[in-house]
Structure 1
Amino acid sequence: MKYIYLFLLGLNCSFGVAQNDVAKKEIDSLYKEDQFYASITYNVLHHVPDDLAQSGFSLGFHAGFIKDMPVNKRRTVAIGIGLGYSTNSFNQNLLINKNSDNTFEYEIVDEDDFTKNKFSNHLIELPIEFRWRTSTATDYSFWRLYAGFKLGYMLLNNTKYSGDLGNIKYSNIDVFNKFQYGLTLSAGYNTWNFCVYYGLNPIFKEASLSDNTTREMTDIKLGLIFYIL
């Protein structure tokens, strides 16, 4: 009986050690951070004509997956490469209309002459980030600073006008640059993180206004971004 008791005691100790090893292995596992994201932004047009003005809220919604690849032993520095979806609207007073020769013209109109005037788009995006954070294997509330570059391909676009000229709508017109790209930055602590996108190339292919001036209009997006493991 004595030997049986010693055997069971030894078996229990071995099992306890094995459990501790498993727990230790889980804590020390090669964890990754922030692989899913969702954000909402306020969209601002940049490099605009003097008389162009935005009205109401121009919103953007963005979501996707980023592959987190730590590059240091503490796993506080990483490279992220992902795939995402983005939809954006821009409410403003730049009317996009078709001429008799089926070409498009751009004209700034008085805000009192319409109730709605906007263009919107849907993009597939490729974000690339350099990531720094203060996370550990057991701490899920940490500071983060992610800077990078985002390339987008426009799948769909729409323009809508309702006003003195009637209702004017166009879809998938060839006046927008299909490829959009810019710099990104997100920073914050735990749940609350601010994000910025600064567009580097024009939204329109050739934004020639009625006075024959050419403007290279870009966009800036400011908002909140939320990360999920």
Structure 2
Amino acid sequence: MVDNRLIVALDFHKTEDVKQLVNTLGDSVSYYKVGMELFYSEGAQVISFLKEKGKNVFLDLKLHDIPNTVAEGLCSLMVQGADLVNVHASGGYTMMKTAADRLKKAAANQGIACPKLIAVTILTSINEEDWQGLGMTCTIGEQVVRLAKLAKKAGLDGVVASSQEVSAIREACGPDFLIVTPGVRPAGASIDDQSRIATPASALQNGASHLVVGRPIRAAENPKAAAKAIIKEMESVK
């Protein structure tokens, strides 16, 4: 059985590159992330391709605007078939609640499945120097947990957060709250532009529900072997 806790990031500009990687990985991977780079370049056609392949799609556009704009934007994106969408938690409680409520209502009115809605807490590229430069007086960890609790209160299904904050979020928000963890790198891999990272096993042990992995698979000499190695490590944590 495919481990759908692994989400492979499709950080490409062109659908042709997506098709090559997805076909290479075959049945070993069932969940893919489509971010700004790809969606802004290719649009909904890449989601259509992935759904035709029977894959789950995390549409990672991190909406952040006034409540009505975010809510209507999500409703527009919903019809494209993504399974998971997100907003920035820093947009606040009213924005998140408006988005969650209206998305669920629109899905019910159209008779389609409502995608899961999660909120980005603090980007995993943010380090302590960046954080202090924003004038924040609390720690990154404290703010992440505060935003996660706010997202749950607003009716969202979960959050995006680094592995360093996962255990605290799990304790604060309970066992059914989704925690999607980017910045996951197998032991020995380059950290690239991430600051708060973890190995697949440690992220799951801390309480993550899904792991986002990009370069360690995409840039590997043998992407399928790299994906299978990560999945094997994940399967050691139930």
TM-score range, shorter chain: under 0.3
TM-score scaled by length of structure 1: 0.20
Bigger fraction of residues in strand: 1
State TM-score, norm by structure 2: 0.19
